[in-house]
């Protein structure tokens, strides 16, 4: 079994705008002309590469696809019951899932409209166990529909500094990835959280199909997906969130055995 350590990415330094203008003036260049040239250059490159807005749009589109998948599964269950004329109480659970996920999509679309006003990530002390429960709530529909067993092992009081909603979303993407790797009615996911010295460790383990080493090496990279219809965005989004929280990620995986993802935070 191969263990892969994935470290947070380091940011790039930015040039001070005032210093640039001062240096340009000293060289006798026209500051307005240089600024205008830069604006023109930005305009010419607009649409190329990954702008912050485009990245946000891609992530949001991915998050919309998760509840839509649950809707599709629920509708399929409804159709099967109707065709066999064996309607029973589970039909109400399916329709409730449809309503819940429609509301989730509406909320996401509203968030998309106001995305520009939330550039700064607010952080505070958060309980990792609360994050896990929240992420399981987000993914409860898919867990229910696929009949997956979830095993939890943790104690309250494991505090880290972070943004609760973002971290819960990162955990949810990891759980969704595990759900898609395990077999219906046979799949199991273990989630463990514990403290070792000044570190809080969170482990997500599944008994799914596992991955070859070359796949595990790239599982957090953008546009890389081992799934036929995958966008290669979900785990990338999770990794970006964890990087912003200075958390490290390690992966253990082997074909036919399953996958284990270890996340390490600095404890408050």
The pLDDT tens digits for 22-32 are 343 333 333 33
Q: What are phi and psi of 262, to 5 degrees?
A: -110, 125
Residues 173 and 225 sit within 8 Å (Cβ to Cβ)? no
Q: List the structure tokens of 126.
A: 């958060």
Higher pLDDT, 138 or 14: 138
Q: What local confidence, expressed as pLDDT, does residue 156 receive?
A: 83
Higher pLDDT, 233 or 146: 146
Residue 33 has pLDDT above 80, yes or no: no
Higher pLDDT, 53 or 39: 53
Average pLDDT over residues 2-30: 44
Residue 155 has pLDDT above 80, yes or no: yes
Residue 118 has pLDDT above 70, yes or no: no
Q: What are phi and psi of 114, to 5 degrees?
A: -110, 20
CATH of domain 122-266: 3.30.565.10
Ranges 13-22, 97-106, 155-164, 238-247: which has the least confidence: 13-22
Average pLDDT over residues 74-79: 79
Higher pLDDT, 217 or 120: 217
* CA atoms 107, 113, 115, 118: torsion sign: negative
Q: Which DSSP helix (H) or strand (E) runs through 192?
A: strand 188-196
Q: List the structure tokens of 24.
A: 């340009």
Q: Which DSSP helix (H) or strand (E) runs through 196?
A: strand 188-196
226 pLDDT tier (thresholds 50, 70, 90): low
Q: What local confidence, expressed as pLDDT, does residue 29 receive?
A: 38
**First CA to last CA across the chain, in angstroms?**
32
- 15: β partners: none
Distance CA 116, CA 248 (A): 28
Distance CA 226, CA 234 (A): 12
Prediction pTM value: 0.67
Share of the chain above pLDDT 70, in %: 72
Higher pLDDT, 98 or 143: 143
34 pLDDT tier (thresholds 50, 70, 90): very low
Residues 181 and 215 sit within 8 Å (Cβ to Cβ)? no
Residue 43 has pLDDT above 60, yes or no: no
Average pLDDT over residues 118-141: 89
Average pLDDT over residues 99-113: 79
Ranges 121-125, 175-179, 214-218: which has the least confidence: 214-218
Average pLDDT over residues 5-11: 53
Residue 162 has pLDDT above 80, yes or no: yes
Q: What local confidence, expressed as pLDDT, does residue 210 receive?
A: 93
Q: List the structure tokens of 191.
A: 């989630």
Higher pLDDT, 116 or 112: 112
Residue 215 has pLDDT above 80, yes or no: yes
What are the respective helix, strand and coil percentages of the chain, to the nearest 5? 50, 20, 30
Q: Name the DSSP letter for residue 144.
A: H
Q: What local confidence, expressed as pLDDT, does residue 231 receive?
A: 46
């Amino acid at each position: 079994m191969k263990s892969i350590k994935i470290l947070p990415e380091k940011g790039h330094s930015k040039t001070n705008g005032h210093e640039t203008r001062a240096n340009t003036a000293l060289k006798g260049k026209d500051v307005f002309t240089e600024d205008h040239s830069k604006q023109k250059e930005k305009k010419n490159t607009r649409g190329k590469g990954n702008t912050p807005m485009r990245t946000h749009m891609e992530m949001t589109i991915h998050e919309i696809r998760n509840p839509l998948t649950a809707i599709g599964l629920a509708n399929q269950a409804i159709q099967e019951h109707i065709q066999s004329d064996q309607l029973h109480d589970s039909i109400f659970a399916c329709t409730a899932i449809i309503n819940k996920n429609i509301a989730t999509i509406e909320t996401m679309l509203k968030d998309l409209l106001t995305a520009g006003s939330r550039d700064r990530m607010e952080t505070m002390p958060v309980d990792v166990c609360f994050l896990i429960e929240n992420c399981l709530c987000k993914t409860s529909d898919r867990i229910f529909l696929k009949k997956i067993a979830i095993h939890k092992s943790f104690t309250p009081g494991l505090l880290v500094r972070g943004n609760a909603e973002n971290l819960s979303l990162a955990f949810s993407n990891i759980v969704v990835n595990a759900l898609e790797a395990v077999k219906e009615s046979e799949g199991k996911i273990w989630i463990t959280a514990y403290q070792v010295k000044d570190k809080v460790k969170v482990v997500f383990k599944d008994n799914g199909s596992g991955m070859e080493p070359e796949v595990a090496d790239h599982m957090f990279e953008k546009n890389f997906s081992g799934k036929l219809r995958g966008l290669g965005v979900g785990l990338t989004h999770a990794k970006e969130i964890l990087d912003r929280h200075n958390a490290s990620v390690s992966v253990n995986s082997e074909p036919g055995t399953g996958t284990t993802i270890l996340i390490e935070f600095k404890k408050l």
